[in-house]
């Protein structure tokens, strides 16, 4: 059936794990949500002609490019969606914004603060022309996390005192797991820190509405070299693994204590070596009136302790965040019919498209992502300086 809604024509760069998640979101958002612009999967870019053709077919894109510069130049594209490793973000994002395309860029925003600052500057300039950039800290759009944010804003938590944030995975526990681009500092920027630590830094700051103003950190690489040739995801990968090993140049784990602008203290930990924890994004916030706790391994649930309940009946509530009153979920299924990982991406598209149609800055902005980048850099600096305290300068653009 013909749809008369205006289109948002999307061009995507990269088609690995993130590309699949984004494509699904672009295909699905308008099926469940009223959108002012209907996303169109106009073109996808990748260096390998066969690979990108196959991806286009599988993921539903109408055309392909083998050079992202071509994508950025096309007149029939309104938005560039960047799903490539971090070392390419700066160049693509800036080119796209300067070409007048909106940008959705996967996290972390860049591999250094310098890159991120440049990107944020260009994004601010573009925004004045009505061209907007957003960074994909997708977990903000998990309904239980969005509900946690709402609870803080409603004053249910009161004055925040503690933030406890962990992102625990275990896929590198095995010492023989192969080397990929994610363990190569030149491509990935950092290891667990930027890949997954960035998420909990963003979540903690966003949910509490308060920024990290200083921290002390340690990092650790448990396995310093790994078998070469296992790069199955990402842009490249060459094969050949006859016992050869290559160096791991990133952290396997990072941990830090932090102070927030509102007086709270925080403890953060990101690792790929927590055997048995598959994707445990955990966030607990304790305030003067209430507490919230979340674990992505039970992602449809938010735990909430209301300190104003009568004394004999106080306890953490296991809120199954699937009621019509909860963020996003009313557009999906009846109560109790849980959502999955990919729904965060769909919700991200929903919010992004609505903001673009309204001429509003979508969040997290590049300035928001730059602030996360500053925290990531401070973690690395502190870890290199025997955990010396690193203050984080306030991000002016936010």
Residues 160-199 that bind a second copy (CB under 8 A): 161-162, 164, 166, 169-171, 173, 175
b/e per residue, 314-336, with b = 16+ CB within 10 A? eeeeebbbbeeebbbbeebeeee
> What track of x and - describes contact with a second copy for positions 320 through 349 (by CB under 8 A)?
x-xx-xx-----xxxxxxxxxxxx------
Candidate list 227, 234, 246, 307; residue touching a second copy; CB under 8 A? 307
Q: CB-wise, 57 or 114, nearer to a second copy?
A: 57
Site for a second copy in 86-105 (CB under 8 A): none
Answer whether 208's CB lies under 8 Å from 290's CB. Answer: no
Q: How far is the CB of 337 from a second copy (least distance, A)?
A: 4
CA–CA gap between residue 281 and residue 319 (Å, rounded):
17
Strand 280-287 versus strand 160-168 pairing type: antiparallel
Candidate list 111, 131, 190, 291; residue touching a second copy; CB under 8 A? 291
Binding range to a second copy, per CB under 8 A, among 96-104, 205-213, 275-283, 353-361: 275-283
Q: How far is the CB of 371 from a second copy (least distance, A)?
A: 21
Q: CB-wise, 340 or 359, nearer to a second copy?
A: 340
Q: CB-wise, 131 or 286, nearer to a second copy?
A: 286
Q: CB-wise, 113 or 320, nearer to a second copy?
A: 320
Q: CB-wise, 228 or 302, nearer to a second copy?
A: 302
Q: How far is the CB of 136 from a second copy (least distance, A)?
A: 15
What are the DSSP calls for 16-60, one per residue? Answer: SHHHHHHHHHHHHHHHHS--SSEEEEEEEE-S-HHHHHHHHHHHT
Site for a second copy in 207-246 (CB under 8 A): 216-218, 220, 222
Name 236's Cβ contacts closer than 8 Å, sequence gap at least 6.
181
Candidate list 257, 261, 355, 363; residue touching a second copy; CB under 8 A? 257
Q: CB-wise, 186 or 333, nearer to a second copy?
A: 333
Binding range to a second copy, per CB under 8 A, among 57-65, 81-89, 92-100, 355-363: 57-65
Structure tokens at 59: 């993921």
Q: CB-wise, 25 or 103, nearer to a second copy?
A: 25
Q: CB-wise, 256 or 366, nearer to a second copy?
A: 256
Backbone angles phi, psi at 25, to 5 degrees: -65, -45
How many CA atoms lie less than 13 Å away from 127 in the CB half-sphere? 17
Neighbours of 91 (CB within 10 A): 15
Interaction of residue 153 with a second copy, rule CB under 8 A? no
CA–CA gap between residue 362 and residue 234 (Å, rounded):
27
Candidate list 49, 237, 314, 384; residue touching a second copy; CB under 8 A? 314
Interaction of residue 155 with a second copy, rule CB under 8 A? no
Q: CB-wise, 204 or 302, nearer to a second copy?
A: 302
Candidate list 239, 313, 393, 396; residue touching a second copy; CB under 8 A? 313
Structure tokens at 3: 């749809």
Consecutive H or E run containing 200:
helix 198-208
Count the site residues for a second copy by CB under 8 A.
108
Structure tokens at 379: 């973690």
Residue 133's DSSP bridge partners are 103
Interaction of residue 298 with a second copy, rule CB under 8 A? yes
CA–CA gap between residue 126 and residue 185 (Å, rounded):
30
Interaction of residue 259 with a second copy, rule CB under 8 A? yes
b/e per residue, 52-64, with b = 16+ CB within 10 A? bbebbeebebeeb
Among the listed residues 108, 95, 34, the one whose alpha carbon sits nearest the alpha carbon of residue 67:
95
Backbone angles phi, psi at 104, to 5 degrees: -115, 120
Interaction of residue 67 with a second copy, rule CB under 8 A? no
> What track of x and - describes contact with a second copy for positions 29 through 48 (by CB under 8 A)?
--xx----------------
């Amino acid at each position: 059936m013909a749809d008369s809604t205006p289109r948002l024509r999307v061009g995507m760069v990269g088609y690995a794990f993130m590309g699949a998640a984004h494509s699904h979101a672009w295909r699905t958002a308008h099926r469940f949500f009223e959108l002012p612009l209907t996303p169109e999967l106009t073109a996808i870019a990748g260096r390998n002609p066969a690979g990108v053709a196959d991806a286009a077919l599988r993921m539903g894109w109408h055309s392909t490019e083998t050079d992202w510069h071509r994508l950025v130049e096309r007149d029939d594209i309104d938005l560039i969606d960047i799903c490539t490793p971090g070392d390419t973000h700066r160049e693509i994002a800036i080119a796209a914004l300067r070409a007048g395309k909106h940008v959705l860029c996967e996290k972390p925003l860049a591999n250094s603060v310098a890159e991120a600052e440049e990107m944020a500057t260009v994004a601010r300039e573009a925004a004045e022309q009505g061209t907007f950039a957003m960074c994909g800290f997708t977990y903000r759009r998990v309904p239980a996390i969005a509900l946690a944010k709402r609870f803080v804003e409603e004053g249910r938590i009161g004055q925040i005192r503690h933030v406890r944030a962990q992102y625990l995975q275990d896929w590198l526990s095995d010492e023989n797991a192969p080397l990929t681009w994610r363990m190569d500092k030149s491509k990935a920027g950092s290891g667990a820190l930027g890949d997954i630590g960035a998420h909990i830094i963003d979540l903690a700051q966003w949910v509490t509405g308060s920024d990290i103003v200083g921290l002390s950190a340690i990092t650790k690489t448990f396995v310093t070299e790994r078998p070469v040739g296992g790069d199955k995801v990402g842009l490249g990968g060459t094969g050949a693994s006859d016992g050869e090993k290559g160096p791991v140049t990133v952290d396997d784990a990072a941990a830090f204590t932090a102070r927030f602008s509102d007086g709270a203290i925080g403890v953060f930990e990101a690792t790929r070596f927590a055997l048995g924890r598959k994707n445990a994004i955990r966030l607990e916030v304790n305030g003067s009136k209430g507490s919230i706790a979340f674990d992505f391994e039970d992602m449809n649930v938010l735990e909430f302790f209301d300190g104003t309940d009568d004394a004999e009946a106080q306890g953490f509530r296991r809120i199954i965040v699937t009621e019509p009153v909860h963020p996003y979920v009313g557009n999906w299924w009846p109560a109790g019919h849980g959502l999955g990982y990919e729904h965060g991406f769909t919700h991200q598209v929903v919010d992004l498209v609505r903001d673009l149609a309204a001429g509003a800055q979508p969040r997290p902005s590049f300035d928001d992502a730059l602030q996360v980048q500053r925290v990531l850099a401070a973690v690395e600096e502190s870890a290199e300086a025997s955990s010396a305290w690193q203050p984080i300068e306030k991000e002016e653009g936010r």
